[in-house]
Structure 1
Amino acid sequence: MRFIALGVSCALLLTALADRAAALERSIDKEAVVAAPLAAVWQSWTTKAGIEGFFAPEAEVDARVGGAFHIHMDPLAEPGMKGADDMHFMALQPMQMISFDWNAPPSLPEARRQRTFVVVRFAPVDDNSTRVTLHHVGWGDGGEWDKTYAYFDRAWGRVLENLQKRHAAGPVDRTAWMESLRKAHAAAPAR
């Protein structure tokens, strides 16, 4: 009987330690319900047209393990400075989950040399709406890591809002954004 009690105590202790370790892992967690069927929301995350409809003005998307997930917030910038230039899908479970590596914006070069990981999950709420959850992990501590974490804590909420808007009113109009980029690039000193 003591062995059973000891086994239960060890199991409870291991569970508590695992819960504590998970709590210590810094993550960004966001969720949104999108007024669109699961297949439409899946396409938004796994195709070039889908990504360009809500996330960024330019993308290269090859939805397979190891395939490109390049998201160009600034398509006018030089290669390596466009945004998430060299990211890749790590896993795909059709109509359920994608994961990809991710990096910091070019303005945070120390953190940009590193990679974090994002998991996006999809679940139908009903025939015409889909729950999207986003979990972003792999954070370091201090310095640019903290700045990058704060940046994406804000940014992922906006990304999910744009996903909702895209399915409510059509693709996001990037005309003003592209014009502001053209002006910024024209005003930048020549290298």
Structure 2
Amino acid sequence: MRVWITLLLLVLGIEAFAQERAIDKEVVVAAPVAEVWQSWTTRAGIESFFAPQAEVDARVGGAFHIHFDPLGEPGLKGADDMRYMALQPMKMLSFDWSAPPSLPEARQQRTFVVVRLHDIDGKSTRVTLHHAGWGDGGEWDKAYAYFDRAWGAVLSNLKKRHESAPIDWTDWLDQLKKHHASPAK
């Protein structure tokens, strides 16, 4: 009987682990894998679709700092101090990630993102994004909901960047300048 109980608990534990909360997104980009890879692994690439400013050093442990608010104080620019965790050229990259500054408790922690590139026909690339490592409750739930929306927008921008042109961040930066110039309320 104890063996059956142990096996049942093991199966239930594996099933719970398999059902870990994660965000999964996918997009098909009208560009060869090498071009999409450059979008994720160079400063110019990141700034063409992801954010107006970045510091990128595409090597394990290298910088993957994505500044959505380049006018912000250090630590409040966006994904400050993130790092590449793994790179398999033209196939996969991963990086750690933090919650937005508006969620300081969750921001003290890190989650991780895995991006995979799949060649479709030499001219198009399927990009899959898997974001995991979530805690439960409170700010974790808010961060999860935020990124469930945000990653869709990021991948949409990646698609647009390769279909038409790099994202023009002028209006975004103008709004940030106004925000930073206005007195605190």
TM-score, normalised to structure 2, is 0.92
1:144 paired residue number:
139
Counterparts of 2:76 and 2:151 in 1: how far apart (Å)?
Answer: 19
- Listed as ranges, the gaps of 5+ residues in structure 1 are 1-9
- Tell me the CA shift for residue 18 of structure 1: 3.1
AA aligned opposite 1:146: D
1:6 paired residue number:
none
Counterparts of 2:12 and 2:139 in 1: how far apart (Å)?
Answer: 31
Counterparts of 2:84 and 2:35 in 1: how far apart (Å)?
Answer: 19
1:173 paired residue number:
168
Counterparts of 1:59 and 1:20 in 2: how far apart (Å)?
Answer: 37
AA aligned opposite 2:181: A
2:3 paired residue number:
none
Mapped pair 1:21 → 2:4: no
Mapped pair 1:129 → 2:124: yes
AA aligned opposite 1:95: M
- Tell me the CA shift for residue 123 of structure 1: 0.7
2:180 paired residue number:
185
AA aligned opposite 1:32: V
Instruction: Report Cα offsets for 1:147-186 as digits up to 9, x if no partner.
Output: 0000000000000000000000110010000000000000
Counterparts of 2:92 and 2:105 in 1: how far apart (Å)?
Answer: 29
Structure with the greater alpha carbon radius of gyration: 1
Counterparts of 2:172 and 2:45 in 1: how far apart (Å)?
Answer: 18
Counterparts of 1:85 and 1:161 in 2: how far apart (Å)?
Answer: 22
- Tell me the CA shift for residue 15 of structure 1: 7.1
1:77 paired residue number:
72
Structure 2 SS opposite 1:60 = strand
- Tell me the CA shift for residue 127 of structure 1: 1.0
Residues 10-159 of structure 1: pairs in structure 2 closer than 5 A: 18-23=14-19, 25-159=20-154
- Tell me the CA shift for residue 188 of structure 1: 3.5
Structure 2 SS opposite 1:42 = helix
- Compared CA separation, residues 126 and 188, structure 1 to 2 (3 A): farther
- RMSD after superposition: 1.9
Counterparts of 1:174 and 1:54 in 2: how far apart (Å)?
Answer: 9
AA aligned opposite 1:18: I
- Compared CA separation, residues 96 and 19, structure 1 to 2 (3 A): farther
Query: How many residue pairs align between the two structures?
Result: 180
1:4 paired residue number:
none
Instruction: Report Cα offsets for 1:49-70 as digits up to 9, x if no partner.
Output: 0000000000000000000000
- Tell me the CA shift for residue 146 of structure 1: 0.3
- Listed as ranges, the gaps of 5+ residues in structure 2 are 1-6
- Tell me the CA shift for residue 19 of structure 1: 4.3
